[in-house]
């Protein structure tokens, strides 16, 4: 399995017989045209959705979008907290704490999670009611994940300052995940260096892949 961090939250996963593209909005794309391509969009924020995806030059592409996106294009539009079978992909959606959904995709005996903007957003100066909603909703949604995850793309956003690890730490504590790729960097890859120094609690010995630049490839052997 090959994982490519494109930019920000844009991620490409190439399996033996499928290619999955998540939340692409800019960056270089190098997609194997010999395998069917599934394009996922979690919500309509500019840093997760670029209408150029509908111009991809690929012979076999399927678009899978959150129903929060109001766009007149032939695609599957998915509601939150629902299960779907699209060709040989089994997909479950979670409610985002911001807009749209997160995706859990089962294909080729692998489970892949992409957060979109589902995160424990805590902002200093915001009303307690808003921060409590973020905490409760995030925890509820992550607690719905019962299966083991092979690859997870999890939000780590330095704009949250001292609270930037809340979502990642909760995810580590409450899911069984083999590999986590932190995302939502806006090109600030110094976050990876900072993450390496953190004393994260990691009960399931999840391997964190530290992204250092755009269009970075990772080969996952198992």
Q: Residue 73 belongs to a domain with what CATH number? A: 3.60.15.10
pLDDT at residue number 86: 98
Domain limits for position 16: 2-219
Cα gap 25→49, rounded to integer Å: 5
How many structural domains comprise the chain? 1
Cα gap 156→167, rounded to integer Å: 7
**Ranges of the chain with pLDDT below 50:** none
Q: Does residue 91 contact residue 104 with C-beta atoms inside 8 Å?
A: yes
pLDDT at residue number 22: 98
pLDDT at residue number 222: 75
pLDDT at residue number 70: 85
Residue 51 DSSP SS3: helix
57 Cβ neighbours under 8 A, 6+ residues apart: none
Give the distance from CA 211 to its chain's centroid: 14
pLDDT at residue number 9: 98
What pTM did the predictor assign? 0.98
């Amino acid at each position: 399995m090959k994982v490519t961090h494109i930019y920000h939250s844009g991620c490409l996963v190439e399996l033996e017989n499928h290619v999955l593209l998540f939340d692409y909005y800019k960056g270089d794309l190098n997609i194997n045209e010999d395998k069917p391509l599934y394009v996922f969009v979690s919500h309509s924020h500019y840093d997760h959705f670029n209408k150029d995806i509908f111009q991809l030059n690929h012979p076999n592409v399927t678009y899978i979008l959150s129903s929060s996106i109001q766009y007149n294009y032939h695609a599957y539009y998915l509601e939150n907290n629902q299960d779907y079978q699209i060709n040989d992909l089994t997909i479950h959606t979670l409610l985002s704490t911001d807009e749209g959904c997160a995706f859990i995709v089962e294909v080729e005996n692998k489970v892949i999670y992409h957060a979109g903007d589902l995160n424990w957003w805590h902002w200093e100066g915001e009303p307690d009611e808003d921060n409590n909603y973020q905490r409760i909703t995030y925890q509820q949604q992550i607690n719905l994940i019962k299966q083991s995850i092979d690859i997870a793309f999890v939000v780590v956003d330095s704009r949250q300052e001292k609270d930037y690890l809340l979502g990642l730490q909760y995810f580590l504590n409450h899911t069984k995940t083999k590999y986590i790729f932190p995302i939502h960097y806006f090109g600030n890859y110094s976050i990876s260096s900072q993450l390496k120094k953190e004393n994260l609690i990691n009960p399931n010995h999840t391997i964190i892949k530290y992204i250092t630049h755009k269009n970075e490839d990772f080969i996952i052997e198992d």
